Amino acid sequence: MSEFDAATAAVQAALDAGATYADARVMHRRYESMTARNGDVEDLTQDETSGIGVRALVGSGWGFFATPDLSDASVRAAGAQATAIARSSGRVSRAAAGMIPLGEAATGSWASECVIDPFTVSLADKGDMLVRATATMFEHGADIAEALYQIWDTAKWFVSSEGHRIDQRIREAGAGIMATSIGDGETQRRSYPAARGQYGTRGWELVQEIDIEAHAARVADESRALLTAPPCPAGETTLILGSEQMALQVHESVGHAIELDRILGWEAAYAGTSWLDLAQLGSLQYGSELMNITIDPTISGALGTFGYDDEGTPAAPRDAVRNGVWVGVLAGRDSAAVAGLDYAGSVRADGWARLPMVRMTNVGLEPGPHTFEEIIAATDDGIYMETNRSWSIDDKRLNFQFGTEVAYEVKNGQLGRLLRNPTYTGIGPQFWRSMDMLSSEIVPWGTPNCGKGQPGQIGHTGHPAAPARFRNVRVGLRA
Amino acid sequence: MSVTGSPQELATRVLERAVAASPAAEIEVSVDHSRPALTRFANSVIHQNVAEEYVQVGIRVHVDGRTASASSTIVSDDGIDALVARVLAAVALAPVDPGWPGLTPPTPLGAVAPLDPATRDASPDDRASIVADFVAAAGGLETAGYCRTNHRREAFANSAGHVVASECADVALAGIARRAGQSGVADGVARMLSLRIADLDGAVLGARAAAKANAGVDPVELPPDRYEVVLEPTAVADVLEALAAFGFNAKAVAERRSFVRVGEEQFDRAITLVDDAPAAGVAFDADGTPTQRVALVDAGRTVGLTHDRRTAAAAGGDAVSTGNSIGSASFGALARHLVLSGSAPDDPPAGEVDGPVVDASAAELVAGVERGILVTDFWYTRVLDPRTLAITGLTRNGVWLIEHGEVTRPLRDFRFTQAYAQALMPGAVLGVGRTTTSLPGDTYSADMPWWTAPALHLAAWNFTGGASG
């Protein structure tokens, strides 16, 4: 039984049981990760998972059932079970808005770009790379020297009762290093190229480009230096954020805020809602005119890239913020129908056993007119922070406090002293409206650990970002 | 492929094939066969309703001084053979593993909480009924949340002859009620976890959440400062989660990333803390080690750590595994069922009270506060420094000013930046609730944590920002 046959049988069983709409995804995923610490490989994880998830609609109630058993009897039972669960949903329901139409049902096939299949690179070579990087960091004084890579190979077959028949193959890879130094009563960490590594829908060539070994000594040296650096001063100042921290800023204070399911209250009890009101879509000044943010799952190699989302909507770019004005949301077919919007395309599931839900794709900044050097040179008095260390934001995605691994004074247009324990806090729209300089040096940062939903799902998202400057930001909060 | 058959049969089958392929290896096999289901509601309707049948086989092999592990959900004979081949190929290339602690020897399991058949067999309609009761009891307020059940069967077998199996089930509800006011929406929350579905009363929890929402409208903003607080069990659970992950993990202690020092008076005398996996029905850990009730803090003195076999071997001396393995050499050993003792643990469950306070146990603490803040819940807490357990986060789902022993007015949410260990240090705990509440740590996963906590009356909590910045 082929994967398409299994998905088709499951959809038919759901319809036979009374569903008015059904779709099914067969997914097969391989995952491998390795970590090394202080010159030794510490963990090697190799997971393989395969199964089918079926979604059914009965009246206004949705049901979802998943099983790893892809036999004909099992997938038909899964379809019927999804319909039965949908009927139970109808016990606490009201009239539903349905789903927006997709036009002609899509059939297609898509694969991400991959030059070097990461699963063909030998474990010995991968391990040697991590061991060398951590040994170098350890030799340079890091108390805990860590390195990791993660790779994924995901194949999906999607069928719906509207005629969809889509297969996709997405390969992802990434790596990073972390040096932790332990002082009297506190720890300091430096990472490269990002706090949890850099990731993309690419092959092993991305890991080669990152070249963790070339940065190991510097990262360890900086973690040691932080132990004796003066603390980040407290107060209001001009803040310059590095590219990777800007990606986190976009992710937390824009990406999640424009998720339509949050705006509609569907995540109210857990992930939270959003400060955004749909009545202001198209008119709200989210940030300064330098702020242009797109939702673009077509960026080659970025971590949130795909050919079709998990409802079968073809990938297409869309504006989220244009010249500082909020103009777009991340939507699915059902949430778009409730909101009265005519677009979807941002629904994905974390594996075959999870319900597709609204997720970020690639949500990021368009390039600004400046360079990082110009931003520093134009700043008389401020602080430059880079590489995320902690992040916390309220359930409306308004009030945030973020910490970075490192900061530097900026005095008279030049980087100055190293500062430890930097933090900054703000309110989303006030913060974004204070952005007065933005670099053109965009990097498509990948976030492989975006948590959302109940049951919990881990999403892979991309965030093109560049250094930027903000005015009158409160910094230096501590316990 | 079929997911029928017992987990023990599957574990034994996988072990036999692996031993046949590599007779000299030390091999362990774990099987997790779970049936989790979650009925989720928002805007007072069920909008996501999911269930799954989940089978995963994990295998770890140690041979010629090297270790590798792998897992798969493909449990056909071909799938198992591919899994075995993959892990054997990996172990041949793995580096030498000097920390390998050896296999768990044959060891009998201890007693654990019994399985409740009604919870095991809960249906979508059962969950929908609980949700319906919650929604109805909220008195017309918008509601959101989930009711979930999980039935988990596990087995473990290794080439040293240790074979164990167990099953458990639990049920949980977490829900909010939402009331609109002139300055926004006020949320109130209620959460509960139990091993028996009959214990979970959606109507009681819905009314509790609604009482908080009704008392939370039109809050005022208080300036950031250090305030005396009463943390309700839902907020205390967050403190326990941080202590589990960053405090008592023996690996974190060995690496000096944790503040915990065994033998020292690190906590207030009112604090007694254990990890009690058997009470949750969990019989063994990822190493196959039987779980046990692990004493961590006794009347303020730190008395224990959580160990797996690897951390215990590394610690040497008389250290042994406490049954807290999560199968991660890089993370270490984790407490997932922390119980912070109430001041009168033998008392019956606390009764309901009028107003926003969660129950009579917490209300007694509120009555002892001259001026302070009642905190229902914490949100999005993140570690700034694991060594000091300095954490930032926000309050959520209801905050009130307490004056002269009474809740007087609702407050807007705060941001805080607080060293959790400092908040519990000697002299810092002014009161502990008489009884405890068991709470789901998160939504379901096959190895979800749960926390059991009383309310706490603390001398100070460092609120560093208001809702407006």
- Give the pLDDT confidence of A404-444 residue by residue, as tens digits: 999 999 999 999 999 999 999 999 999 999 999 999 999 99
* The pairing of beta strand B371-385 with beta strand B226-231: parallel
Q: How far is A160 from chain B (nearest CA, A)?
A: 18
For residues B53 and A70, what is the distance between their CA atoms, to the nearest angstrom?
Answer: 12
Predicted local confidence at residue A42, as pLDDT: 86
Helix axes B124-137, B202-215, angle to 10 degrees: 30
Across the range B285-289, mean pLDDT stands at 98
Q: Is B100 on the interface with A (CB under 8 A)?
A: no
Could you give the residue ranges of the DSSP H alpha helices within B243-288? Answer: 250-254
CB B396 within 8 A of CB B376: yes
Q: pTM of the predicted model, to two decimals? A: 0.95
For residues A1 and B1, what is the distance between their CA atoms, to the nearest angstrom?
Answer: 12
DSSP secondary structure letters along B4-62: -S-HHHHHHHHHHHHHHH-TTSEEEEEEEEEEEEEEEEETTEEEEEEEE-EEEEEEEEE
Distance of CA A217 to the CA centre of its chain: 29
- Are A210 and A264 part of one and the same domain? no
Run of H or E including A10: helix A3-16
Sign of CA dihedral B178, B183, B184, B187: negative
CB B194 within 8 A of CB B338: no
Q: How far is A299 from chain B (nearest CA, A)?
A: 30
The answer to whether the CB atoms of A423 and B392 lie below 8 A apart is yes
Q: Is A46 on the interface with B (CB under 8 A)?
A: yes
Indicate the residue type of A147: A
DSSP secondary structure letters along A138-185: HHTT-SEEEEEEEEEEEEEEEEETTS-EEEEEEEEEEEEEEEEEE-SS
Coil vs helix vs strand at A404: strand
**B107: burial class by Cβ within 10 Å (0-12, 13-18, 19+)?**
middle
* The pairing of beta strand A107-111 with beta strand A165-182: parallel
Q: Is A51 on the interface with B (CB under 8 A)?
A: yes
Q: How far is A18 from chain B (nearest CA, A)?
A: 17
CB-nearest partner of B135 from A92, A454, A479: A92
Predicted local confidence at residue A365, as pLDDT: 98
Number of inter-chain CB pairs under 8 A, A vs B? 275
Task: With a threshold of 0.90, tell me whether the complex ipTM lies above it.
Answer: yes
Coil vs helix vs strand at A472: strand
Structural domain including A31 reads 3-227
- Domain limits of chain B? 7-215, 226-466
The answer to whether the CB atoms of B40 and A454 lie below 8 A apart is yes
> Does the pLDDT of residue B151 top 50, yes or no?
yes
Q: Which two tokens stand for residue B194?
A: 């139990």
Q: What are the backbone dihedrals phi and psi of residue B201, each rounded to the nearest 5 degrees, phi first? A: -105, 105
CB B18 within 8 A of CB B135: no
Predicted local confidence at residue B3, as pLDDT: 54
Could you give the residue ranges of the DSSP H alpha helices within A319-469? Answer: 333-339, 372-377, 428-433
Coil vs helix vs strand at B406: strand
- Are A65 and A156 part of one and the same domain? yes
Domain boundary among A207, A227, A247: A227
- Residue recorded with tokens 């399911």: A261
Give per-residue pLDDT as tens, A209-262: 999 999 999 999 999 999 999 999 999 999 999 999 999 999 999 999 999 999
Predicted local confidence at residue B204, as pLDDT: 97
Nearest to B290 by CA among B252, B325, B247, B253: B325
Coil vs helix vs strand at B288: coil
For residues A146 and A187, what is the distance between their CA atoms, to the nearest angstrom?
Answer: 14
Q: What are the backbone dihedrals phi and psi of residue A432, each rounded to the nearest 5 degrees, phi first? A: -65, -30
- Residue recorded with tokens 């193959």: A169
Chain B neighbors of A47, CB-CB under 8 A: 70-72
**A105: burial class by Cβ within 10 Å (0-12, 13-18, 19+)?**
middle
Q: Is A399 on the interface with B (CB under 8 A)?
A: yes
Give per-residue pLDDT as tens, A6-25: 999 999 999 999 999 999 99
- Are A112 and A178 part of one and the same domain? yes
- Are A21 and A161 part of one and the same domain? yes
Predicted local confidence at residue A479, as pLDDT: 73
> Does the pLDDT of residue B217 top 80, yes or no?
yes
Domain boundary among A169, A200, A227: A227
Q: How far is B60 from chain A (nearest CA, A)?
A: 10
Measured in Å, how far apart are chain B's first and last C-alpha atoms? 56
Chain A neighbors of B75, CB-CB under 8 A: 68
Q: With bands split at pLDDT 50, 70 and 90, how would you rate the model's confidence at B13?
A: very high
- Residue recorded with tokens 């002293």: A417
- Are A317 and A255 part of one and the same domain? yes
Across the range B127-152, mean pLDDT stands at 97
- Are A79 and A60 part of one and the same domain? yes
For residues B419 and B436, what is the distance between their CA atoms, to the nearest angstrom?
Answer: 23
DSSP secondary structure letters along A368-396: -SB-HHHHHHT-SEEEEEEEEEEEEE-TT
Q: Is A184 on the interface with B (CB under 8 A)?
A: no
Run of H or E including A216: helix A212-227
The answer to whether the CB atoms of B51 and A427 lie below 8 A apart is no
Q: With bands split at pLDDT 50, 70 and 90, how would you rate the model's confidence at B467?
A: low
The CA distances from residue B412 to B369, B380, B419, in Å, are 19, 16, 22
The answer to whether the CB atoms of B124 and A71 lie below 8 A apart is no
Q: How far is B344 from chain A (nearest CA, A)?
A: 32
For residues B85 and B20, what is the distance between their CA atoms, to the nearest angstrom?
Answer: 11
Which of residues A97 and A110 earns the better pLDDT score?
Answer: A110
Check whether the bond before B106 is cis (ω within 30° of 0). Answer: no
Q: What are the backbone dihedrals phi and psi of residue A330, each rounded to the nearest 5 degrees, phi first? A: -90, 120
B418 forms beta bridges with B391
For residues A347 and A364, what is the distance between their CA atoms, to the nearest angstrom?
Answer: 17
CB-nearest partner of A390 from B176, B387, B392: B392
- Are A141 and A18 part of one and the same domain? yes
* The pairing of beta strand B66-72 with beta strand A40-58: parallel
Predicted local confidence at residue A317, as pLDDT: 98
> Does the pLDDT of residue A298 top 60, yes or no?
yes
Distance of CA A277 to the CA centre of its chain: 23
* The pairing of beta strand A414-419 with beta strand A399-411: antiparallel
Indicate the residue type of B136: A
Predicted local confidence at residue A110, as pLDDT: 97
Chain B neighbors of A266, CB-CB under 8 A: 42-43, 47-48, 144
B339 forms beta bridges with B274, B452
- Are A355 and A448 part of one and the same domain? yes
Measured in Å, how far apart are chain A's first and last C-alpha atoms? 59
The CA distances from residue A356 to A53, A100, A248, B7, B204, in Å, are 9, 16, 23, 29, 32
Best B4, B43, B53, B397 member to test A by mutation, with max A CBs in 10 Å, is B53
A149 forms beta bridges with A34, A175
Across the range B261-289, mean pLDDT stands at 97
A443 forms beta bridges with A465
- Are A183 and A294 part of one and the same domain? no
Predicted local confidence at residue A98, as pLDDT: 83
CATH number of B7-215: 3.30.2290.10
> Does the pLDDT of residue B193 top 90, yes or no?
yes
- Are A29 and A147 part of one and the same domain? yes
Give per-residue pLDDT as tens, A354-363: 999 999 999 9
Q: With bands split at pLDDT 50, 70 and 90, how would you rate the model's confidence at B469?
A: low
Indicate the residue type of B386: P
Q: Which two tokens stand for residue B171?
A: 């049920």
Predicted local confidence at residue B381, as pLDDT: 94
Q: Which two tokens stand for residue B49?
A: 């309703």
Q: Is A71 on the interface with B (CB under 8 A)?
A: yes
Domain boundary among A208, A227, A246: A227
Side-chain-side CA neighbours of residue A365 (13 Å): 33
For residues A217 and A227, what is the distance between their CA atoms, to the nearest angstrom?
Answer: 16
CB A76 within 8 A of CB A83: no
What's the farthest any 2 CA atoms get from each other in chain B?
73
Q: Which residues neighbour A354 within 8 Å (Cβ) at sequence distance 6 or greater?
A: A53, A66, A453, A455, A457, B50
For residues B371 and B382, what is the distance between their CA atoms, to the nearest angstrom?
Answer: 28
Coil vs helix vs strand at B234: helix
For residues B44 and B55, what is the distance between their CA atoms, to the nearest angstrom?
Answer: 33
- Are A240 and A194 part of one and the same domain? no
Q: Considering only alpha carbons, which residue of chain A is nearest residue B224? A: A477
Nearest to A439 by CA among A244, A200, A192, A237: A244
The answer to whether the CB atoms of B43 and A68 lie below 8 A apart is no
Give per-residue pLDDT as tens, A46-92: 999 999 999 999 988 899 999 999 999 999 999 999 999 999 999 99
Nearest to A311 by CA among A102, A459, A65: A102
Chain A neighbors of B425, CB-CB under 8 A: none
Predicted local confidence at residue B1, as pLDDT: 40
To the nearest 10°, the Cα dihedral for B361, B367, B373, B378?
Answer: 0
Give per-residue pLDDT as tens, A305-344: 999 999 999 999 999 999 999 999 999 999 999 999 999 9
Mean pLDDT for all residues in chain A: 96
Which of residues B14 and A123 earns the better pLDDT score?
Answer: B14
- Are A116 and A260 part of one and the same domain? no
Q: Considering only alpha carbons, which residue of chain B is nearest residue A266? A: B42
Chain B neighbors of A267, CB-CB under 8 A: 42
Number of domains composing chain A = 2
Chain A neighbors of B66, CB-CB under 8 A: none
What angle is formed at CA B257 by the lines to CA A245 and CA A244, rounded to 5 degrees?
10
Coil vs helix vs strand at A301: coil
Predicted local confidence at residue B402, as pLDDT: 98
Give per-residue pLDDT as tens, B376-417: 999 999 998 888 899 999 999 999 999 999 999 999 999 999
Q: Which two tokens stand for residue A299?
A: 């960026």
For residues B161 and B172, what is the distance between their CA atoms, to the nearest angstrom?
Answer: 36
Give per-residue pLDDT as tens, A151-207: 999 999 999 999 999 999 999 999 999 999 999 888 999 999 998 899 999 999 999
